[in-house]
Structure 1
Amino acid sequence: MDDPSLRDLRAFVAVVDHATFTDAAIELGVSQASVSRAVARLESSLGVPLLRRTSRSVSLTPAGRTSLVHARAVLDEVDLLRRSLREPATTMRLGYAWAALGRHTAVVQQRWRQEQPDTQLELVHSWSATSGLVDGLVDVAIVRTEVTDPRIESSVVGFENRYLAISSDDPLAQRRFVRLGDLDGRVVAVDPRTGSTRQPLLDVATSTLDVRGVEEWLNVIASGRAVGITAEATKWVHARPGVAYRPVRDADPVAVRLVWWQDSPPPGRAALLQILREAYAR
């Protein structure tokens, strides 16, 4: 069975966006038959029907709805890659996977613009363990876990306190702070790919619930299905109705690291390191 191609994914998304094969073909600049074949190939590759077709309309099957989310994500990543390759050398791409620099984000951007007026600092979101560095999407990246890849060099720029994220109607939300022992018997939502919650923090939990990215993490917490342990930056960047953040008094702080390829540190790395350290020092 062949893997789905980008052409087939684009045809599928275009049909959904335009609700007809004819209009999708016009947007893509191909024939209607070509679009039909592309969608059929994708369905064959995935082994499930994605669309319900009638003489008057096209609608998504349950599998189609799930596939559409991932198809859009794949195409967005490819478009981001193409744009990154077209960017001039006067751009420093800073990757992040979770909450950028929290409350320091705007300060760092403003200082960079003042001190490095000839180079643009572009923040790039990437759902990967190295925040897009190994994927080739960025020049440097912010991570909140230890990177063990020997090809990658890192430097700690600061520390952030840990916070508990809970449903706003949870009894713990009435407290000013919590302790790790308060999580005994709780389900903790964890993003195993990019999250900063690792053992031994999870020793107090009854079980964990794996999630993909901050949006899914916030959704399961707001619904009361789980709680979350996170770095302070999340509180500043991802305020959400129905979710409360409370400091965890006895949890070790999170080290915030800047990472880059050891054999090819980008120009401007030293200047960015200084700005980041000074921002966290305040």
Structure 2
Amino acid sequence: MAVDEGSISKAATRLHMAQSAVSRRLAELERHVRQPLLERSAEGVQPTVAGKMFCAKADAAVTAFDDAMRTDMHRVRALRVGYAWSAAGVYTSEILRRWQEVNPDVMVRLKRVDDPAGGLTSGLSDVAIMRTHAQRRNLREELLVMEPRVVAVPAGSALAGRGKICLPDLADYPLVINSFSGTTNLELWQEGRQPVVAVEVDTIDDWQSYIAAGVGIGVTPASTAWMHPHAEISYLPVPDAPPVPVYLVWASNNRHPALHSFIQLARNVVAEVAE
């Protein structure tokens, strides 16, 4: 609640509790997990990295409890598809539309999670759309498509008027990097001819805010321009940048009855659109 409100006092108001009582509960919880869950400042509170992980796991636990208490157990619960960045890009709408036509009784619920694993490790998703390799043994992955890269620049900058731009030309501009769930790092450029990192962020919202403000530029999969258009940002092709793999990833022990049907349908949609 405090994370949602950005304030302990506002959380106390929503919970109809005294602020001191909420603070005590929070302190007890932090002692139990042995690490701080919130960062406090004059502007309010925001979750620490440990806090984000705790919230994700707590949400998953509540979801699991709600599933267990459902009275309509004969119905299949929604298939949760997590993603950290841009879902399946231009294929997203067609996948969802086709699924609804073929499987109207099973909902597919997209969920953006600020987590490189798309909510898989925290139990928030059944299958994730990821742009990095799965790093755990119990996760299975399938390559869905290779995605070109674009550069995001402030709409009023000199770069915005160009039709395309190459990686070496970007080395002179400061870079905004999502170090938590992004796909870009300095290894894209040759050593000795690399841009300076202006700022590292954790979410795509912060990434766009810094670019729109002129703090730096960002290199990203092309789906970002489709999934997250921004009035103050222009996206330009970067033809010499290596493409980004897009994977479907799931836990090997996931038993959702619609999981493999969804994977097959997504595979078919991508293949048909590519033809």
Q: Is the 8 A contact 2:167 2:240 kept in 1?
A: yes
Amino acid at match of 2:10: V
- The alignment partner of 1:15 has SS state of helix
- The alignment partner of 1:156 has SS state of strand
Amino acid at match of 1:81: A
Which residue of structure 2 aligns with residue 84 of structure 1?
Answer: 63
- Normalised to the residue count of structure 1, the TM-score between the two structures is 0.77
The one of 214, 230, 242 aligned to 1:252: 242
Determine the C-alpha separation between the residues in 1 that align with 2:255 and 2:166: 40
Q: Is the 8 A contact 2:7 2:44 kept in 1?
A: no
Determine the C-alpha separation between the residues in 2 that align with 1:12 and 1:92: 30
Which residue of structure 2 aligns with residue 99 of structure 1?
Answer: 86
- The alignment partner of 2:98 has SS state of helix
Which residue of structure 2 aligns with residue 59 of structure 1?
Answer: none
Change (3 A) 1:225 1:14: closer
Q: Give the unaligned 5+ runs of structure 1.
A: 1-5, 51-62
The one of 139, 143, 149 aligned to 2:130: 143
Which residue of structure 1 aligns with residue 263 of structure 2?
Answer: 273
Are residue 36 (structure 1) and residue 20 (structure 2) matched? yes
Are residue 67 (structure 1) and residue 45 (structure 2) matched? yes
Which residue of structure 2 aligns with residue 221 of structure 1?
Answer: 211
Q: Is the 8 A contact 1:221 1:228 kept in 2?
A: yes
Q: Is the 8 A contact 1:186 1:205 kept in 2?
A: no
Q: Is the 8 A contact 2:3 2:47 kept in 1?
A: no
- Structure 1 residue 261: deviation in Å? 0.9
Are residue 207 (structure 1) and residue 196 (structure 2) matched? yes
Which residue of structure 2 aligns with residue 58 of structure 1?
Answer: none
The one of 221, 225, 240 aligned to 2:230: 240
Q: Which runs of 4+ in 1 moved over 6 A?
A: 8-12, 43-46, 69-76
Are residue 15 (structure 1) and residue 9 (structure 2) matched? yes
- Structure 1 residue 12: deviation in Å? 8.2
- Structure 1 residue 111: deviation in Å? 0.7
Q: Give the unaligned 5+ runs of structure 2.
A: 31-35, 68-72
State the aligned residue count: 253
Amino acid at match of 2:22: A
Q: Is the 8 A contact 1:159 1:280 kept in 2?
A: no
**Could you report, residue by residue, the CA deviation over 1:16-70 in whole angstroms, capped at 9, with x for unpaired residues?**
36xxx7xx2xx4244x4xx324337768977x996xxxxxxxxxxxx14241577
- Structure 1 residue 253: deviation in Å? 1.3
Q: Is the 8 A contact 1:162 1:247 kept in 2?
A: yes
Q: Is the 8 A contact 2:180 2:201 kept in 1?
A: no
- The alignment partner of 2:45 has SS state of helix
Amino acid at match of 2:206: E
- Structure 1 residue 134: deviation in Å? 0.6
- Structure 1 residue 190: deviation in Å? 1.2
Q: Is the 8 A contact 1:11 1:38 kept in 2?
A: no
Determine the C-alpha separation between the residues in 2 that align with 1:239 and 1:49: 31
Question: Structure 2 matches for 1:174-213, cutoff 5 A?
Answer: 174-198=161-185, 200-203=187-190, 204-208=193-197, 209-213=199-203
RMSD: 3.2
Question: Structure 2 matches for 1:108-187, cutoff 5 A?
Answer: 108-187=95-174
**Could you report, residue by residue, the CA deviation over 1:197-219 in whole angstroms, capped at 9, with x for unpaired residues?**
13531445322221111001001
Aligned-residue sequence identity (percent) comes to: 25
